[in-house]
Structure 1
Amino acid sequence: MRTILVAAALAALTAGASAQDKRPDYGTAVNAAGAKKIAAGVLAECQKNGWNVAVAVVDNHGFLVYFERMDNTQTASMDIAVGKARAAATYRRPTRVFMEAINKGGPATATLPGVFASPGGVPIMVDGKVTGGVGVSGVTGDQDEQCAKAGLGTT
């Protein structure tokens, strides 16, 4: 009987793992020119709304390609923008999903290295592949995400 229970538990775990969403592959890393263009779109959206933010663009491995901050942006936002960009690129998903998982009481998401559980980090996608990440910080998470998406042209 015990063997049957162990086998059933293993089958359930295997089925759960295969049912997980497939994350997109990594593509060719965003270059400096592309990163500057994304940041310009972010900053235009933030300026339009009167929001002072920091914006970071990283490559597909989470390494910083471009960073800019607006005058009078809160000091903490510098590191947060970079962290959101890295999390979006390396985990290949928007940082909003971490906040939602934690709010639902999901598994130990908060203990994963480099997790930023706040909206504002979005993967950069080209032809269905992750080429980097953009992170914005300085206003609310939803506003940060709005600006990040504007920089990617997805608003």
Structure 2
Amino acid sequence: MHTKPVLSIADATRILDAARAEAERHQWAVSIAVVDDGGHPLASLRLDGCAPIGAYIALEKARTSALGRRESKQYEDMINAGRTAFLNAPLSGTLEGGVPVIVDGQVAGAVGVSGVKSDQDAQVAKVGVQAALA
């Protein structure tokens, strides 16, 4: 039988707090979603001023990252490089901003962020991931 790391509610809260602080430091109105390794929601937050669709997109970015076991940006890069078959993949968050939480080589979950430029979304998500690993 295998064992694996899992995100606790305390981890999800730490991720949200750190990601929120990073977004607020830059005055970025974003949505932040934290999911488990199966892409199921653990926690989410939509900051004041973020469009409602941001909450949906953040969750899908996180889900894509968790299920794909990689940053969602890698799917965006593949599509932009001409591998358009990924447009039909059963993932709808194939934009930059989803980052997996990797513990001891295992994906424990992921963070997705939406609301500003995609590299800024990823920056906020990565700060959240680092808080989980600290």
- By the TM > 0.5 criterion, same fold? yes
Q: CA deviation at 1:116?
A: 1.7
**Mapped contact 1:86–1:133 kept (Cα < 8 A):** yes
Q: CA deviation at 1:76?
A: 0.9
CA–CA distance in 2 between the matches of 1:54 and 1:116? 14
Matched ranges for 1:79-94 at <5 A: 79-94=56-71
**Mapped contact 2:76–2:94 kept (Cα < 8 A):** yes
Letter of the 1:76 counterpart: I
CA–CA distance in 2 between the matches of 1:109 and 1:27? 29
CA–CA distance in 1 between the matches of 2:41 and 2:10? 13
Q: Which runs of 5+ in 1 are unaligned?
A: 1-25
Alignment RMSD, CA only? 1.5
- Scaled by the length of structure 1, the TM-score of the pair is 0.79
SS in 1 for 2:107: strand
Q: Which has the higher contact order (CA 8 A, sep 6+)?
A: 2
Matched ranges for 1:1-155 at <5 A: 27-106=4-83, 108-153=85-130
Letter of the 2:88 counterpart: T
Give the length in aligned residue pairs.
129
Q: CA deviation at 1:69?
A: 1.2
- Scaled by the length of structure 2, the TM-score of the pair is 0.91
Q: CA deviation at 1:107?
A: 5.2
Identity %: 38
Task: Tell me the alpha carbon deviations over residues 43-97 of structure 1, each in whole angstroms, 9 at most, x when there is no partner.
Answer: 1110000001110000001110011111111111010010001000011010100
Q: Which runs of 5+ in 2 are unaligned?
A: none
CA–CA distance in 2 between the matches of 1:65 and 1:30? 9
